[in-house]
Amino acid sequence: MMPNELDCRDLACPGPVMRCARAVKEENPETLRVLVDNSAAVENVSRFLRANGYMVTATQAQERLWHLDAVRNGAAAGDAAAPEVPAAPAAAGKTLVLITTETLGRGDETLGAKLMDNFLATLPELGDSLWRIVLLNGGVKLATRPGKALDSLRALEAGGVSILVCGTCLDFYQLLEAKAVGQTTNMLDVVSSLALADKIIRP
């Protein structure tokens, strides 16, 4: 692998963009080559790099391989630090994420499950403003079923994010003993959390 080359093949969205964001923030390279394996990643990574001061050329090398060659614009070459992916400011207050289903969006259930995995994996990008995640109804299944969603929730909890899991919902689905992350809670705690939050995100 050549210097300043990122192999982002086999990374689900938004993995390629997040890897590029870390490289731009930590290394601030003048040139960067990014390898991706799908057209969506070509568009997303190219848009991110252009927004951060790079000229980008995309070349399809194989059926499922694109080279994205980025060169920093002359106007940005002297910047002391590269801009980051837009994120909530640290002073944004308490952000609560309310999840009521195990999939994201309507339509195909398999796609919805993948989108939910990606959504949870991206939540750390909110930074210190992310305060609490509340799981209700079908959303409690995310706290019981092994997989990417559960791994992401565990990582968020380990990072200090509070996770509340509806006890009534767990009982309804007969999953009380299966809960693997978070604190079993009640509707009073849920309502109080909603009232205390400065911002509520409901996917």
pLDDT in tens, 4-37: 899 999 987 778 888 999 999 999 999 999 999 9
Q: What is the dihedral of CA 154, 160, 166, 172, to 10 degrees?
A: 10
Better pLDDT: 104 or 12: 104
Average pLDDT on 154-159 reads 96
| Spatial distance between the Cα atoms of 44 and 78, rounded to a whole number of angstroms | 25
Average pLDDT on 165-191 reads 92
Q: Which residues contact 103 (CB under 8 A, 6 or more apart)?
A: 109, 112, 113, 115, 116
pTM of the model: 0.71
pLDDT in tens, 33-78: 999 998 878 888 998 999 999 999 999 998 889 999 999 986 443 4
pLDDT band, very low/low/confident/very high, at 113 (cuts 50, 70, 90): very high
Burial class (CB in 10 A: 0-12, 13-18, 19+), 149: buried
Better pLDDT: 91 or 118: 118
